[in-house]
Amino acid sequence: MRYFLFIAIIIVLFSSCEKDITVDLPQPEEQLVIEGYIEPGQPPYVLISKTAPYFSAFDENSLLQYVVKNAKVTVQCVEDNITDTLLQVLADTGYFYVSFSMLGQVGKTYNLRVETEDGKVATATTRIEPPIPLDSIWFKIQEGKDSLGFVWAHLTDPDTLGNNYRWFAKRIGKDSSFIAPIGSVFEDKFINGKSFDFAYNRGSVPNSTATDDTSQVESGFFKTGDVIVVKFCTITKESFKFWRSAETQSSNIGNPFASITPLISNIEGGIGIWEGYSPSLDTVTAQ
């Protein structure tokens, strides 16, 4: 009886220590979010929005308050000393700005400047590096899978330290755009001047409800019959650092033991990425 009485007292003491705690989170400072790209033969385009508080409403109507309208967006080609003002495609919405007269060129440097109606300014610089194409690509069925596998590639990295890469893939007739899987970027720190094989799984659009993305069997795999276009890009060191940190953050979501990873951005006056990349394209049929 003494033992059970002792246990009962302990339970009462611990239950009486319970207390509801309300955490008053500070309002975060609003920042510009910039996502811009330029590649050879294509016009530069920039997506502009603002950061939102962590517990803010998240629906179609509330998201509209975070897009930026009527910003002045300019891109300057340093070598040619030519500056172009990007146009806001959707006047009522903003967010998407594109050039109709400038095309990216390999080996050239591009300065970005964004100025909003309320006077905020964000700037960044990027460069389009020469492309380094893959030697070959092929599809290989994963061991234990009847029709599912990964795309493999062979790459010869030049003997010049400092090359950085990003991998995209698109299934003809299935994907509306090129998709980068988690771990899509890598550098030549440990592979400089080497020739080697490597493989990538199939990436998916965030929050996709497609059957092959939600299926525990097919998710992450390419399937026999798929016609796959690989977009292999040479990128800058700044782009590598940004996407590596962004992918690390994404992978750590929900993990209570993960360390905090800061987002490494090349945007001054905001966060995000202004990225020049140089792609090479290869197509393979999964069979």
pLDDT 10s digits, 101-125? 999 999 999 999 999 999 999 999 9
Q: How far apart are CA 232 and CA 241, in angstroms?
A: 17
Residues 146 and 238 in one domain: yes
Tokens representing 231 are 């977009």
Same domain, 123 and 149: no
Question: Does residue 47 sit in the same domain as residue 64?
Answer: yes
pLDDT at residue 16 above 60? no
Residue 24 in any domain: the answer is: no
Closest Cα partner for 51 from 71, 69, 29, 72? 29
> Confidence class of residue 249 from pLDDT cuts 50, 70 and 90?
confident
Total residue length of the chain:
287
Last residue of a domain, one of 110, 127, 144: 127
Whether 245 and 154 map to the same domain: the answer is yes
User: pTM (2 decimals)?
Assistant: 0.86
Tell me: pLDDT of 213 over 80. yes
Whether 16 maps to a domain, the answer reads no
Last residue of a domain, one of 127, 153, 187: 127
CA distances from 207 to 53, 63, 100, 174, 203 (A): 21, 17, 32, 16, 12
Does pLDDT of 185 surpass 90?
Answer: yes
Domain tally for the chain? 2
* CATH code (residue 70): 2.60.40
What per-residue confidence (pLDDT) applies to 254? 57
| pLDDT above 60 (res 17) | no
Is residue 141 domain-shared with residue 247, that is, in the same domain? yes
Residue-wise pLDDT tens digits, 220-238: 999 999 999 999 999 999 9
Tell me the percentage of the chain whose pLDDT exceeds 90: 76
**Nearest-CA neighbor of 155 among 109, 191, 122, 119?**
191
pLDDT of 177 strictly over 70? yes
Q: Are residues 164 and 62 in the same domain?
A: no
| pLDDT of the residue at 98 | 98
Q: What is the pLDDT of residue 218?
A: 94
pLDDT value for 23: 63
Identify whether residues 165 and 113 lie together within a single domain. Answer: no
Q: Find the domain containing 68 and state its range.
A: 32-127
Same domain, 122 and 153: no
